[in-house]
Structure 1
Amino acid sequence: MSNKYNITCVFEDGATTHFHTSAIETVYSAALRSGLTLETDCREGACGVCKAFLADGQCDIGDVSDEALTEDEQEEGFLLACQARARSDMVLEFAYPLSMLKKEVAVIDARISELEPVADNVMRLVLESDADTPVFLAGQYVNMTVPGRVPARSYSFANAPGDNEKMEFFVRLLPEGAMSDWLRDHAKVGDSLQVQGSYGQFFLRPPRAGRVVMVAGGTGLAPMLSMLAQLKASGNPMPQVTLLYGANFAGELFGQERIAEYGDNVTLHRVVVNGEDGWQGQTGFVTDLLADGLLDDAASTDAYLCGPPPMIDAAREKLLALGVPSARIFAEKFLPATSVEGAA
């Protein structure tokens, strides 16, 4: 019997689909069998229409022409879905939206199983469902809706992808906002929501050299918690992770006890903008922590950034200056807390 592998496809619009394949069928054939018709033309490895980037995993690229897939592209990690056959679980990135294929991401009904404040204006929300919970990659998000009350809002998973029993999120409660008002004033255990996903091109890649730096602002810590849990559960030696975490006030920080469970594998640096209320740590912006000497091998470091756009832009600039390759800096921006609710 042929080995069975899981294929995850991430599209330009952030939508994600999943299907199974065997070692003897092509990615395109397996997708078609699952009901997903990927973009293609010749189906003979000659046109390049079905080109995808292999973000994770191994495959046999099959018989392809130099015009459709050059040697440089092969070395960079590209393949043709009509020819490639999996040799492990794979994550593929496609340069067009899933919506172009006229396929919608499923919506599932869920209910609140846990609801608790974990910091000033931060609520921990755990959902469960009688249906299958969304398959996701560590770092991705869902769109969450309260039918008739709250339109879709985007929140990143905080739990590991392998945890099929729950969906965990950390939500920043804004002074005004449909989801914030509902969670703060009305929501209770047992209440129903709808979840659609998963989405996002911000997800964990295999560490190249055992060095990872994460920069999180506010509830941008949530996807980092998911990534840490996945790194621990992967079965491979956990890399050395430097986690830089910032907030406006000390009371807004959360997650320290969970991070401490990783021991020496994770070095946590916390900083707040306003060092009041007895705060004994460093003050300033989280990007101030990206200083010379922080990374002992920047060229072999993978970086993950999640927070408001100004933080992302400043962190990217400093990481590049430190020597982290641009292609190994992955980021998720969400709207500032002073604006409307967005991905977090």
Structure 2
Amino acid sequence: MSVRCLFSPAARSVVQLSPAAGLLCGRLPARSSATRRSMSSVRQMDHLERTLSNFRQNALYPAQVCGIVDESETVKRLRIAVHPDFSFKAGQWVDFFIPGVETVGGFSMCSSPGLLQREGVVELAVKYTKHPPAHWIHSAVCCLLPSQCTVGSRVAMRVGGDFFFNPAPSDPSVDLLLVAGGVGINPLYSILLHTSGLLHLNHASGGRDYKIGSAHLFYSAKNTQELLFKSSIIEACREFPDKLSCDLHVTQQSADVESHLQPFVSRGRITEEELRSHVDPQRTLCYLCGPRPMIEAISSSLLDFGLPKTRILFEKWW
């Protein structure tokens, strides 16, 4: 049975979340700039404040957790069945509303629009923190939280973000350079999967749809255990060796790298020489997501290589 069947026609109408959430599933007004100005500039901004100037859809849709797996020791991947009208572009995030939890989460989707189209689900990979939405996803029953995240938990989500890859069939081809650090891989994995899906469509049409160039992923994490989605990334690169490629970096690996990963994994940080070999100022479009120092250093290097500022896109989660 399609997961879309989880949502009856009644689900298309307004649905009330808990009083703590204080929101309706429907069309919501954006928060005013005056509200943001009244917030303290000393404390760290929450997700809604930080993304106030970003595009976000008005519609807030009901959703239901239909799968939970451990992606690593610190990251859980949620599989979420969504409303039939839900849509997003590869690289975007969701406002994540949990009944009974006051704080709204913000998580980039790590799945592709193609998976949504085929199965009616999206996926989120969430690292453990004490931030209430992430804590809810990771915690067992806890006195501080109204419930725990389980298969069947009902939530609500709203799509937002200006960081996405959504080419039209008639658009000229570009070469993608994707650079990720830690869980910053989430939106870039979505973009890589979407690129792979477009390559399949192009192959099926005999080359008539989507002019897809190459895509190269640089991905850095502490160790191979924290390299999320590594098997799927390598599989995609092997499926389209002339189009997709990757360099996986580990910065704090003490054990030997597994033999099947060795051709793809390097120790140490991403170097300027490696970056430069994948930059063509006329063709490269770069997407960056990771820790702030990494993004700032790589952005500076790319500018030094002659890549126009307009072709360097980054998602800031700080």
Fold-level similarity (TM above 0.5): yes
Q: Which structure has greater helix proportion?
A: 2
Aligned to 1:277: 255
Aligned to 1:169: 124
Q: Are residues 151 and 293 of structure 1, via their aligned partners in 2, closer, same or farther at CA, if it must alter by over 3 Å? A: closer
Q: Which residue of 303, 306, 310 corresponds with 1:320?
A: 303
Q: Which residue of 148, 151, 162 corresponds with 1:201?
A: 162
Q: Which structure has greater strand proportion?
A: 1
Q: Which residue of 135, 150, 153 corresponds with 1:181?
A: 135
Separation of aligned partners in 2, 1:307 and 1:161: 22
Separation of aligned partners in 2, 1:97 and 1:315: 23
Does residue 229 in structure 1 map to residue 193 in structure 2?
yes
Query: Counterparts in 2 of 1:16-35, with a 5 A limit?
Result: none
Q: Which residue of 64, 68, 75 corresponds with 1:111?
A: 64
Give how far 1:270 is off: 1.0
Segments of structure 1 that go 5 or more residues without pairing to the other structure are 1-34, 36-95, 336-344
SS in 2 for 1:119: coil
Q: Specify the code of the residue in structure 1 equivalent to 2:249.
A: V
* Runs of 4+ in structure 1 over 6 Å off: 96-99
> What CA deviation, in whole Å up to 9, does each residue of 1:278-302 have, x standing for no partner?
246433334x365465226343211
Aligned to 1:212: 176
Separation of aligned partners in 2, 1:259 and 1:299: 26
Aligned to 1:126: 79
The CA RMSD over aligned residues, in Å, is 2.5
Q: Are residues 289 and 111 of structure 1, via their aligned partners in 2, closer, same or farther at CA, if it must alter by over 3 Å? A: farther
Q: Specify the code of the residue in structure 2 equivalent to 1:109.
A: P
Question: Once the two structures are aligned, what percentage of the paired residues are identical?
Answer: 26
Q: Is the 8 A contact 2:54 2:160 kept in 1?
A: no
Aligned to 2:278: 295
SS in 2 for 1:261: helix
The TM-score normalised by the length of structure 1 is 0.62
Does residue 259 in structure 1 map to residue 233 in structure 2?
yes
The TM-score normalised by the length of structure 2 is 0.66
Aligned to 1:305: 288
Aligned to 1:250: 224
Separation of aligned partners in 2, 1:97 and 1:181: 25
Q: Are residues 312 and 293 of structure 1, via their aligned partners in 2, closer, same or farther at CA, if it must alter by over 3 Å? A: closer
Q: How many residues were matched structurally?
A: 233
Kindly name which structure, 1 or 2, has the bigger radius of gyration based on alpha carbons: 1
Q: Is the 8 A contact 2:55 2:162 kept in 1?
A: no
Give how far 1:229 is off: 2.4
